[in-house]
Amino acid sequence: MIRSGNRLTLLENGAQYFPALIAAFDAARHEIHLESYIFSADATARAVAAALTRAARRGVVTRLLLDGFGSRAVAAELIADLRGAGVDVLFYRPRQGFPRPRRARLRRMHRKLAVVDGAVAFVGGINVIDDHVGRNLAAPRQDFAVQVRGPLVADIHAAVQRLWRLVKWSRIGFRRDREDWVRAATGAAGEQRAEFLTRDTLHRRRAIEHAYLKAIGHAHEEILIANAYFLPGRRFRQALARAARRGVRVVLVMQGYSDHRLYHAASRALYRFFLENGMEVYEYHASELHAKAAVVDGHWATVGSSNIDPFSLLLAREANLVTHDAEFASTLRGRILAARDQGAHRIQRLAWRDIPWHFRLASWLAYGLVRGLMGLAGYAGAYEGGGPRQRIAGRRTPRP
């Protein structure tokens, strides 16, 4: 649901996000919820942990929910210290013993959310890890988050409460303990319109994807997407192709320096489709591109945790903020384009045709492997969106 009266602040990278997050924790008086896919043990993560510890020791109800796979390497002593200080720590689907090949184990909690006193919230794609921790990163990891004040905080607050209850009840045999919850603030804090979207496997299976497809379908001028793991299914690809054919400028900024080489190679198998349908393709090489953001026609924008790939769109619990505000969209657009201009290079159509055949073969093999893995998990049809090869604007389009 779209809420009016919000104040949204765009935060770029950990340099802006973590100071704002820690300041909110230090100002907390009643309750903190923090969800993260990854919680590292580096200096940045320990600074966040210290803020949670300070809050818990002064009597703030402090809850930390981590994913059992993404945070599997978190230091045991760090978790012990948090719990010893009074922080309530839970793991979503924790790993127990030798992993069995069950489809449910692929369903992860990929959200990055925080809510403080029901009054301020953070939504984005930034994990609790230092921007420079990675494979020899020469520059900070590129990512975004949004600080939210206003009526939308109530929706975010309800979402983190709901998942906390679900995970907690699953640990204690679904016994429903009575708990006192902070009531979220609902008063206006600004003039910006936004909505909070989550993705799960029950009631909101395609909410984020449908929001993208609706915005793309109504685009008239420009679609700008910066996405770390961009491996869209057929329905999404064809929506972009139709937009490009009706004269919309489609700009895709993707990883050139990736921490997941299989996905990176698989996404390159789609470059020919994008280029031959008139889209602009850029690879970001300055560092890791971890953003999951988009701007359409200068007034619709989204920032969140959801990639455009089968993991995010079909398996993981995700959360995105969608704004309908020209000022915010303009700011986000400027930040994405600045990152593109400073750290990315454009993939040219003719040059891509001339790359060595074995390079193209490796990309296709990687793409086939990803599709095969989705098939084994039972999600291949849902990922591709079904249907035979389509024609765009009267001509046959390449089918990746």
CATH architecture group of domain 3-194: 2-Layer Sandwich (3.30)
Per-residue pLDDT, averaged over 288-317, amounts to 94
The helix/strand/coil state of 118 is coil
Query: What mean pLDDT do residues 121-128 have?
Result: 98
Q: Kindly report the number of other CB atoms within 10 A of residue 47's CB atom.
A: 15
Q: pLDDT at position 378, please?
A: 53
- The overall pTM is greater than 0.75: yes
222-243 pLDDT, tens digit each: 999 999 999 999 999 999 999 9
Residue 177's pLDDT band, with cuts at 50, 70 and 90, is low
* pLDDT for 383: 57
What six digits make up the tokens of 87?
């922080």
Coil, helix or strand at residue 64: strand
Please report which confidence band the pLDDT of residue 135 belongs to, taking 50, 70 and 90 as the band edges.
confident
pLDDT band at 203; cut points 50, 70, 90: confident
Domain 3-194 identical in fold to domain 195-387: yes
Q: Per 3-state DSSP, what percentage of the chain is helix, strand, and coil (rounded to 5)?
A: 40, 25, 35
Greater confidence (307 vs 261) lies with 307
Question: What is the model's pLDDT at position 75?
Answer: 87
Residue with the larger pLDDT of the pair 373 and 362? 362
Categorize the per-residue pLDDT at 83 as very low, low, confident or very high, splitting at 50, 70 and 90.
very high
pLDDT more than 70, % of the chain: 84
Confidence label for 397 from pLDDT (cuts 50, 70 and 90): very low
Question: Does 89 have pLDDT greater than 90?
Answer: yes
Contact (CB, 8 A) for 306 and 292: yes
277 close to 392: Cβ distance less than 8 angstroms: yes
Lowest-pLDDT choice from 65-69, 236-240, 308-312, 349-353:
349-353
Main-chain phi, psi angles of 166, to 5 degrees: -60, -45
Q: Where are the domains of the chain?
A: 3-194, 195-387
User: Cα(42)–Cα(75) distance, rounded to whole angstroms?
Assistant: 10
Please determine, for residue 99, whether its predicted confidence score (pLDDT) is greater than 80: no
Catalytic residues: 110, 112, 117, 290, 292, 297
Return all residues near 36 (Cβ < 8 A) that are at least 6 apart: 64, 65, 66, 67, 70, 71, 112, 127, 128
pLDDT computed for residue 243 by the predictor: 98
Listed in sequence order, the DSSP H helices in the chain are 13-27, 43-57, 76-84, 152-171, 207-217, 234-245, 261-268, 271-276, 310, 326-343, 349-353, 357-376, 380-384
Residue 203 contacts by C-beta under 8 Å, 6 or more apart in sequence?
none
Burial label, 263 (beta-carbon count in 10 A; 0-12, 13-18, 19+): buried
164 closest CA partner among 35, 77, 286, 313:
35
Considering only the top CATH level, what class is 195-387? alpha beta
* Cα–Cα distance measured from residue 143 to residue 259, given in angstroms and rounded to the nearest whole number: 14
Residue located via tokens 């393709």: 281
Stretch among 291-295, 325-329, 363-367 having the lowest mean pLDDT: 363-367
